[in-house]
Structure 1
Amino acid sequence: MTRCQVPAFLIHQIQEELDKDEEEMMVFLCRDLAPDLATADLKEVLVALNEREKLTPVGLSELLYRVKRFDLLRRILNTEKATVEAHLARSLRLIPDYRVLMVEINENLEKDEVSSLGFLLRDYAPRMKMAKDKSFLALIIDLEKLNLVAPNQLDLIENCFQSIHRIDLIRKIQKYKHEASVSSVHSQPVYVNALQASLPNLNLIDPPYHSGIQNENIEKLQNGSSLTLGAAEPLHMSIEESGSVPHKVSDDSYRMQSQPLGICLIIDCIGNDTDVLEKTFRGLGYDVHCHRYLNMNSMNQKLLEVARWQKHKYCDSFVCILVSRGNSQSIFCTDHTFSGFPLEQIKKYFTADSCPGLLGKPKLFFIQSYVVPENEQEYTSLSEVDGNAENISSKVTIPQAADIFWSHCKVDVSKLERSSTSSSYYLRCLAELLHNPYKRKRCILAIHMELNKKVYDGNMTVDPSQQYSLLLQHTLRKKLFFPT
């Protein structure tokens, strides 16, 4: 055995730990290194590469890194993710970037999307065999055999991604192709994936497609290879261990990919919730604008100003959060007279006729009202009707226009009198749910359902006069997912 080879027990141990999908990804990644082993399983491929002196411990660690088995890097190969990243930045990589790109795309596709791609490809390759559960990587291999897809030939899958509304994957391919235009080897296109493209001052060159690794480069890799690569400076760019990606754009979900994601307007006339809300929505990618202690006139002017901003047309959504004393249909801001500012009017400022930049885009409103009893109001709003609060609230039908999400929470103003600095339990729970990336994998309606549960569970532990009442109304036409 030469010094560069990998012990057989390591290959066996790693193969035993991988599931079927991970094995498929590894075989796909190695496809250009051993084109004569196209139908072999993972263990056969790794053994063959090892015998041909193309596999080193460092190369094996790259393979585990590419399939995101960081636990096996640490437990079996005794190395860290950052160490592998440092090696990838400073040395020749084993795997061509085209293969890496296809594996990254494969991880971001759902089964139904792969089925849709298979159906669409019938127009281009009617003779291609279509198994029911064929994976994306298997589709790519079939297309490679028909010479329809290659590292410098990706227009076909771009067109298919356009048809299934996966614009995020098209952008990934376009970035990959853009890097090809600035570098070449012997007039052959060279492709650099998004990870290396983000690293400064690197000269990372892939061999041409199907040419394998040049012998002299193999020698460089093997002679300098070891699992401990020295005290390399950690890199800031890495593959996320969580595997989180922006949620796909499809016919039944809103696009939520712009940067910023949208304007988030927070008007907190009580002053206890601004900080946590600002942190939460800024973390989601919103351009957050906070205003405390506004009177009704100032709030009206601010709403009009924000509704007229041209930047809405470049954003995918809008969020408005209001915290104020009020009654069933109005908020009072900091004013001591209680004519009230109608909630209906707030919504109208951001509908498509008043704010064309938000046409067809989700508009989310979260309202926390501290309800002042009628007998404590100096005079009531002109929009008030006779009856108790519950009867009034049942007549409120705010979301009349499309794409409105209206979450209105009420609690008696005595809640503030008991603790003037306490935050809204409703808004605190909302922030916690939105802060959790696993919760954000669910659509906003599912998140709000859990918010309902938290609020009403909390009501079980307090006096009835201190309980929150939560009402959700919406006219969303699609599912809405926040980025994870």
Structure 2
Amino acid sequence: MALQDKLLKIDHIAESLDSSERRRLLYLCESPETDTSVACVKEALRSIVTSRDNNGLFLAELVYRLERFDILRKLFKFSRENIERDLKHKQVLSRFRVLMAAISEEMNSDDVNRIKFLLGNTISRENLENVKNFLDVIVELEKRDSVSPERVDFVEKCLRDIDRIDLAKRVASYKMSAEIPGRHSALLPNCRTHQTRQGQPHRIARVNAPLVTSAVQIPERSLELYKFNTNPRGVCLIIDCVGNDGEMLEQTFKDLHFDVILQKWLTADDTLSALKTVIRHRDNYPGDSFVCCIISRGTDDHLLGTDLYGRGLPMDSVRRLFTAEQCPVMTGKPKLFFIQRYSVQDFLPCTRMYNQDEGIETDGYAGLSACNHIPTDADVFWSHCWTDERQLEQGDGHRSVYLKALTDALRKAQTRKSSLLDVQMEVNAAVYEHNGRNPGENYHLDVKHTFRKGLLLN
């Protein structure tokens, strides 16, 4: 790749990214630059590219880690599969920085605020006020030599302290994979030196290790797999309170060999009743998994169904109904939730809306927390997308970009050995690409999971 061609690619990359993406890019390429303007990012990339031998793969991996597959295809003629195959043999970017950037993308503002509270005695108040995301936290800790690619115990502890056990486990996995090479680094080729604050060099080995390829991806193929081969594979409950995409989901999950229950135009109370019915008849639903899809208007933490007023259904209750305590038959089995919410801005809840003990109890059920949307119980995959209710004003022809991307990715998974996280990654890319083309019609994603094993769809 000629230098002039690479410089043109750099210009296109910098101009195509938003400010948060440029911030992550600078962190990934270990640039000390703090200015995220297009001009400064171009200059930083030019400086790095002109000093590297493997700069073509370096640029491609940067774009890949940002999940800008549109740029990857346009500039490098790479598919996601192409770059993943190449990176299995030679990863250019720092594994530590890739992991920290991926974790940052998976943390919401509440997570970051809790981290900031924990670090009140470690980082000055002035510096904490400038912290906007997890990457800012890591940069501050690196400045204080509290965290480095070789020392991540502090990061793991902080994540455990805010109950992000899923992320803490990923740090622990990184730490374990780095320990053995670290003890024998003198025997390994391709090592670079890193100056610590005290000026003493440490050798850091570049090794082939599991890739962190998205905010939710873990190296599934190296893990034990969930059983997922019964016929039917389980029950799929689809609740469509909007009326546009239920049938599309129904056919998709039937093709995946699920027993599908589709219910349309339900109120919040009816939605709860439908969920309870599945619980009551759980012994009648054989299979290795459970899927719940809900399409509904709603607020940040409640689903409204077709209601124009009322208490709504706390979103967290949907997941908690299927915990091991409430639904023992699903213990150890993957439980998948796909939620498309259309945000209602001027909804005025009645006073009963926040009485959480009303209307949501099951046998032995002891209350819910509407403020915690993180799937803290094991074996849960939670994919929640929301967009403005005004999207529905397009009329009967409206289709959710998120659900269309989901069904497309699931259909592809039937013809190839894809993991659920691969499917979600394709959805992320499609939604992100849509948002870039339609800035006034953005979709937002919150994807979390507490999987202990991999889940392959085929």
How does the TM-score come out when normalised to structure 1? 0.44
The structure having more radius of gyration, on CA atoms, is 1
How does the TM-score come out when normalised to structure 2? 0.46
